[in-house]
Amino acid sequence: MNNLDATDLKILLELVREPRIQVSELSEVLGIARNTAQARLRRLQRSGVLTGGGREIDLEAVGYDVVAFVTIEVTHRELDSVIAALRLIPQVLEVHEISGRGDLWVRLTATDTHQLQSALRQVVRIKGVIRTETVLALHTHIAYRTEPLLSRALDVQENARAARAQASAHP
């Protein structure tokens, strides 16, 4: 678990709860010195636990290096209660309602295959779950990202603005 102590975990938890928190606020909330909070944040960034400018957490660096994608088929009248039950499983990272085979797509993580198996058993015991199919992620080649989409949207806007400017310059 990358030698994280309770203070490190409290810092990470606070960053998840309040990503825009300032170091001074963080130290106050946790009851630690500002310099301690700053030093801990720097160490977490250098070790790779904190990425993306220090506000995203690399779960693999925290010890959650098993990732699975689970497709779940559910009884439709139980869909809302299945989603509510999935919300209670800590290893569940996200849940999407999908089209095609299955009804829900779930990404979950675990520290090892035993913990994964335990989480999957919790999933199949949920009332309304008919069947599941689990696929393990072997390696992440492209992590969740938004920069290319934002860059493309900016290019489109800038090109449209340039075209309007050119059109108005040559009536």
Torsion angle of the four alpha carbons 13, 14, 19, 24, in this order, in degrees rounded to the nearest 10: -150
Judged against a pLDDT cut of 80, whether residue 161 lies above it is answered with yes
Q: What is the mean pLDDT of residues 42-65?
A: 88
Domains assigned to the chain: 1-56 (1.10.10.10), 60-137 (3.30.70.920)
pLDDT at 2: 63
**Which of the 8 DSSP states describes residue 66?**
E
For 96, phi then psi, to 5°, come to: -125, 135
Cβ pair 136, 67 in contact under 8 A? yes
